[in-house]
């Protein structure tokens, strides 16, 4: 009954370091692979046949396909990513403007004159609000 359990001694520190490094490299590889797949679908200049070909190459021959894609089309990846980020930012800003109801001073003055015409505010209140809108 000499069944000893060696926990830390069976796996040296250098082995743990190498394992962590390989896991890190594997995760980086997956991130690169998915970024390339997203870039293939994001590219509007590429035809459907070209997208299919690149996708098959990247999936069936992952290392060669990814390196070939980066060499052949890597320069445009940054531009497409930047354009996509700008489009998202513009869509977000448009949504915020529409939601906030940001109107021009002319629209605000038109609404203010309607309120004065109904008699809800006096001429003095109208002039103060008009000065606030214009200045």
Read off the pLDDT of residues 29-54 as tens digits, 9 standing for 90 and up: 999 999 999 999 988 889 999 999 99
Task: Report residue 120 as tokens.
Answer: 């809800």
Domain boundaries, the chain: 1-74, 104-135
The SS3 assignment for 44 reads coil
Give the residue among 72, 80, 75, 68 at the shortest CA–CA distance from 39: 80
Phi first, then psi, for residue 101 (nearest 5°) are: 70, 35
What is the C-alpha to C-alpha distance for residues 28 and 31, in angstroms, rounded to an integer?
Answer: 5
Model confidence pLDDT, tens digit, residues 76-99: 898 999 999 999 999 998 888 778
What is the C-alpha to C-alpha distance for residues 112 and 121, in angstroms, rounded to an integer?
Answer: 9
């Amino acid at each position: 009954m000499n069944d000893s359990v060696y926990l830390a001694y069976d796996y040296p520190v250098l082995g743990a370091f190498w394992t962590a490094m390989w896991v890190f490299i594997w995760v980086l590889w997956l991130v690169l692979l998915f970024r390339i797949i997203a870039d293939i679908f994001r590219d509007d200049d590429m035809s459907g046949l070209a997208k299919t070909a690149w996708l098959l190459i990247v999936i069936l021959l992952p290392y060669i396909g990814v390196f070939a894609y980066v060499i052949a089309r890597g320069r445009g990846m940054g531009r497409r990513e930047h354009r996509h980020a700008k489009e998202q930012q513009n869509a977000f800003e448009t949504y915020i403007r529409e939601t906030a109801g940001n109107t021009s001073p002319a629209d605000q003055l038109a609404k203010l004159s309607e309120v004065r015409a109904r008699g809800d505010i006096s001429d003095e209140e109208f002039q103060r609000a008009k000065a606030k809108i214009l200045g």
